[in-house]
Chains A and B, each alone.
Chain A
Amino acid sequence: DAGVIQSPRHEVTEMGQEVTLRCKPISGHDYLFWYRQTMMRGLELLIYFNNNVPIDDSGMPEDRFSAKMPNASFSTLKIQPSEPRDSAVYFCASKGGAWVNTEAFFGQGTRLTVV
């Protein structure tokens, strides 16, 4: 398996523009997580899905952020409109199984810069 695949790897956009980040989880995994990583706040959980259904979106910063999982092999995280403070590395992770001890596999991340 190729692992969790995220695209793009890097994104530079102007303030006010819409940004869409993409993730393909490992086949067969029923959980998908979106995290944001910054030096100041570390790795923060934004939202996670189980069987394509959003379970907890309490970490989503505000209404400018939205996430979807239309099927088991694809998820998107959208920011509209983007702001400079959204600059961070966004990670997608997937795991198979509900048990919290199950290993989460991370993608390589998308480095977002909003200027």
Chain B
Amino acid sequence: TQLLEQSPQFLSIQEGENLTVYCNSSSVFSSLQWYRQEPGEGPVLLVTVVTGGEVKKLKRLTFQFGDARKDSSLHITAAQPGDTGLYLCAGGRNTDKLIFGTGTRLQVFP
């Protein structure tokens, strides 16, 4: 059973377009993290959100944690080819165990 479902699974867009990736669960999480993984590498942390309704910005990336702490979104403005990669959300539920979502594979074409 996958606790964290991401959508869409795949996304191919042109440079300059905006996009949103979603991470949903039926369970409440104490925090959510977003990671990006490039081919041949391990995931690298982008951001951690801990408070329901929290919004964090990282340059052209905007992360939001849902009010009920069951979902999160990642919005990229004016996507660039360097944003290409696998985006993973990961949740923790008051334990030290980190569970990863199903992933969204993003391809940005020049």
Q: Which residue numbers of A lie inside 8 Å of B, CB to CB?
A: 4, 31, 33, 35, 42-45, 48, 50, 55-56, 91, 93, 98-101, 103-104, 106-109
21 contacts across the A-B interface (CB closer than 8 A): A33-B98, A42-B88, A42-B100, A42-B102, A43-B88, A43-B103, A45-B98, A45-B100, A56-B97, A91-B42, A98-B96, A99-B96, A100-B95, A100-B96, A101-B31, A101-B50, A103-B48, A106-B42, A106-B43, A107-B42, A108-B40
**Are A43 and B96 neighbours in the complex by a CB distance under 8 Å?**
no
**Are A93 and B42 neighbours in the complex by a CB distance under 8 Å?**
yes
Does B28 interact with chain A (Cβ within 8 Å)? no
Q: Which residue numbers of B lie inside 8 Å of A, CB to CB?
A: 2, 30-31, 33, 40-45, 48, 50, 88, 90, 92-103
CB contacts between A and B, total, < 8 Å = 60
A42-B102, A107-B42, A108-B41 known; A100+B92 contact, CB < 8 A: yes
**Are B97 and A101 neighbours in the complex by a CB distance under 8 Å?**
no
In the complex, which residues of chain A have a beta carbon less than 8 angstroms from the beta carbon of B100? 35, 42-45
